[in-house]
Amino acid sequence: MRLENFVEGTDTTRDGLTGNATAVLHEVAELLVALAERGETGIIDLGGMPLSSADKAWLAAKLGQGEVQMTLNLDGASEVRETAFHGVWWLVHHNEKGVLTGEFIEISSVPELVSAHPDDIRQAADKLGFLINDL
Amino acid sequence: MAGLAQHGVSRRSFLKFCTTLASAMALPPAAGLAMAEAMAAARRPSVIWLPFQECTGCTESITRSHSPTIESLIFNVISLDYQETLMAAAGHQAEEALQHAIKENFGKYILIVDGSVPLGQGGAYSTIGGRSNLETLKEVAKGAAAIVAMGSCAAYGGIPKANPNPTGAVSVSDVIKDKPIVNVPGCPPIPVVMTGVLAHYLTFGTLPELDKLGRPKAFYGETIHDRCYRRAFYDQGKFAKTFDDEGARNGWCLFELGCKGPVTYNACATTKWNGGTSWPVESGHGCLGCSEPDFWDAGSFYKALSMPADPLKTVAGAAAVGAAVGVAVSFANRAKKSAAKAAHETTTLPDLEK
Amino acid sequence: MGELQFLTWVRGTGLNLAISIFLLGVLVRIIEIYSLGRKKDLAEPRSVAGASGMNTVFRRSIPADGMLKTSPITYIGGYVFHIGLGVVVFLFAPHIKFFQDLLGFSWPGLPSQAVDFAAVLTIVALLLILIDRISKPVKRYLSTFQDWFTWTLTFLPVLTGWMAVQHLLLPYTTMLALHILTVELLLVFLPFTKLFHAFTVFGSRWYNGTVNGHKGVAV
């Protein structure tokens, strides 16, 4: 018996939309305005509200595909892709068993997870220095 | 984050872990970032882990979790100052480490306990370094900021407390009354519940919201039954009758095979085990109810909730007594009838004229 | 006492006690009543069509002439709740499982939604019967403590069972334990109250029918 055969009991119209996807899109729009005008980043947890698979498909279709697609190997694969709207990123996290562990929409110039941390950069600089010394 | 790198965990992996953990605890997404920062911060609270009358299953569950680096790293990052199974020191050295940690961090350390506390024979049933667990618990609890009772034994008494409880086992909250206690029951508990509680405390300095049994509502707020993927079959009345019959192979509800899902609060149905691989019902076995108090004494694991928990011992005897009394009464009635008949006096005309 | 411990008690000790008392009481009373037998009627038996024990058993299942119009709630409510109770008790899968454990055999049940529907009908019918008993002056005048008590004993198990399945009011474990407890109370008092009609109604009708049929009267 496959898990996917069972549907969560959300109220749906015949095309499977609950109406929650529209709400999420509104939130994305608001956060994007905040980013544009005040530089404030935002993040929406798609696992935090009831969204049917039709909802997610609708949202993905509305946000579209951008120019950037990244795969992160972090104890399981994570995919980061930019949507057709600059600053709106869609993140999907899996664990090593391939099970979905989280899905987020992040509104920022680049997702927090992707940019390198200053401390890490400092450490890397030292490390590269040592590597060159040993040449 | 130097500690993290030492354990082969990158900052990004850690951040990913924290955001998904926050999501699992229904915290806002920003909390994930806060968690990562708090846990990576330089000043981190000390954690003391005391193992009492336990089977070590809880420790195993944590360290054998899907991301052993993450879970065990938590304890290294947060300065796990005393953990008998995991620490290198032993004997007197270990005891010194414990005393040192207590003194250094008095009032601020988190105390994790797994295993029950036996009270029988003055506590002699379980001792460490010659001191009873009861004594050790009372002493170490004094300087703890909060106590986490890991596993059903520490939370409720668990298997040692099961009938007839030969060692007089009790739970941590039966002994300590003046400290905030979080119960993380399960036999063993799901690893991420443990890390979720610690992460919450390290980030916010408070314990997560608890139910009336002291369990974090984020993980123990719903019953297995209410989140079970086989629920549709329960509602349609489609039950597996035996293990591996047609119904079982079609994934039908395991109620008739003794599943205690309806009366058990835990996250197994949603969070699952072994990194989301599966959980008992999905693997074809009914829920044991292992995160509920005294589940060991709640009747057979294979008897449905609507069946008697124990064999009905006095019923046959009562039926026999009932039949006997009934027969006795019927004889008494007949005797009464014949006596009445015999005592029947005839009336004659002179009697009436009297 | 924790929720699960309460449930374990009612499923264990409580159930044992209740069924024991029930069986004891039922056997005492059945043997006591049926062993009384009948006084021999030495008159020549008359044979009139429609006058016999079996006839009376079935005839009394139908309201007498005009009674349905006078007291519709008594008859309709009565039938609805009896049938509904039968459906809920004997055709709900968890209950069938219980009987299987006691008797060693089982039978097919109905889907849970059908039983749920029957339970709601039963609850409504019982409430209407109660309201009727309170509002009809004669009925109220004739009612004794036992009438209200047995109504409560019958109503509570259906209500608590339905509430447990619907997850209403109290946490499921407690609601389920209360349901089993109310069933146990019903079992304990059944043999010693008018609820014992469950075992005597057909025997009683047959007796009346036979005795009067012997005299040539259809009752």
> A interface toward B at CB cutoff 8 Å?
1, 3, 6, 43-45, 47-48, 72, 74-75, 78, 93, 95-97, 99, 101-102, 104, 112-113, 117, 119-120, 123
| Chain-chain contact of B322 with C28 (C-beta, under 8 angstroms) | yes
| Chain-chain contact of B305 with C176 (C-beta, under 8 angstroms) | yes
All partners of chain B with 3 or more CB pairs under 8 angstroms = A, C
Residues of B in contact with C36 (CB under 8 A): 330, 333
| Token representation of residue B65 | 């979790």
What percent of chain A is modeled with pLDDT above 90? 51
Cβ pair A26, A59 in contact under 8 A? no
From CA A10, how far away is CA A17, in angstroms rounded? 9
Does residue C153 come out as left (phi exceeding 0), alpha (psi in the -120 to 50 range) or beta? Answer: alpha
Q: For C1-42, what is each residue's pLDDT tens digit?
A: 678 889 989 998 999 999 999 999 999 999 988 888 877 888
Q: Sort B222 into a burial class: Cβ within 10 Å, 0-12 / 13-18 / 19+.
A: middle
Task: Give A118's pLDDT tier (boundaries 50, 70, 90).
Answer: confident
Residues of B in contact with C21 (CB under 8 A): 318
Pairing label, strands B80-82, A77-82: unpaired
Q: For A80-94, what is each residue's pLDDT tens digit?
A: 999 999 999 999 998
Q: Provide the β-strand partners of residue B132.
A: B127
The amino acid that residue B22 corresponds to is A
Residues of A in contact with B276 (CB under 8 A): 95, 97, 99, 101
What percent of chain B is modeled with pLDDT above 70? 88
| Chain-chain contact of B12 with A113 (C-beta, under 8 angstroms) | yes
| Chain-chain contact of A44 with B11 (C-beta, under 8 angstroms) | no
User: What b-and-e string marks burial along B253-267, b requiring 16 or more CB atoms within 10 Å of the CB?
Assistant: bbbbbbbbbbbbbbb
Mean of pLDDT values over C157-171: 92
What residue in A sits closest to B37 (Cα-Cα)?
A: A117
End-to-end CA distance of chain A: 58
From CA B144, how far away is CA B201, in angstroms rounded? 13
Residues of C in contact with B222 (CB under 8 A): none
Residues of C in contact with B235 (CB under 8 A): 111-113
Place of tokens 């005795």: C211
Sign of CA dihedral A132, A133, A134, A135: positive
Predicted ipTM?
0.77
Which of B256, B292, B303 lies closest to C4 in CB terms? B292
pLDDT of residue B6: 60
Ranges of residues in chain B with a pLDDT under 50 are 42, 68
What percent of chain C is modeled with pLDDT above 90? 60
Say how many residues make up chain A: 135
Q: Provide the β-strand partners of residue B48.
A: B82, B111
Which of C24, C95, C109 lies closest to B319 in CB terms? C24
| Token representation of residue C51 | 């006058």
| Chain-chain contact of C28 with B329 (C-beta, under 8 angstroms) | yes
Residues of B in contact with C16 (CB under 8 A): 308, 310, 312-315
CATH superfamily, with its number, for domain C3-35+65-200: Transmembrane di-heme cytochromes, Chain C (1.20.950.20)
| Chain-chain contact of B11 with A120 (C-beta, under 8 angstroms) | yes
What residue in A sits closest to B8 (Cα-Cα)?
A: A75
Task: Give A135's pLDDT tier (boundaries 50, 70, 90).
Answer: confident
Q: For C183-212, what is each residue's pLDDT tens digit?
A: 999 999 999 999 999 999 999 999 999 999
In whole numbers, what is the pLDDT of chain C averaged over residues? 91
Cβ pair A24, A59 in contact under 8 A? yes
Interface contact B277, partner A, CB < 8 A: yes
Mapping DSSP to helix (H, G, I), strand (E, B) and coil, where does residue A135 land? Answer: coil
| Chain-chain contact of B315 with C16 (C-beta, under 8 angstroms) | yes
The amino acid that residue C193 corresponds to is T
What residue in B sits closest to C35 (Cα-Cα)?
A: B330
Residues of C in contact with B338 (CB under 8 A): none
| Chain-chain contact of B250 with A1 (C-beta, under 8 angstroms) | yes
pLDDT of residue B5: 62
From CA B159, how far away is CA C145, in angstroms rounded? 48
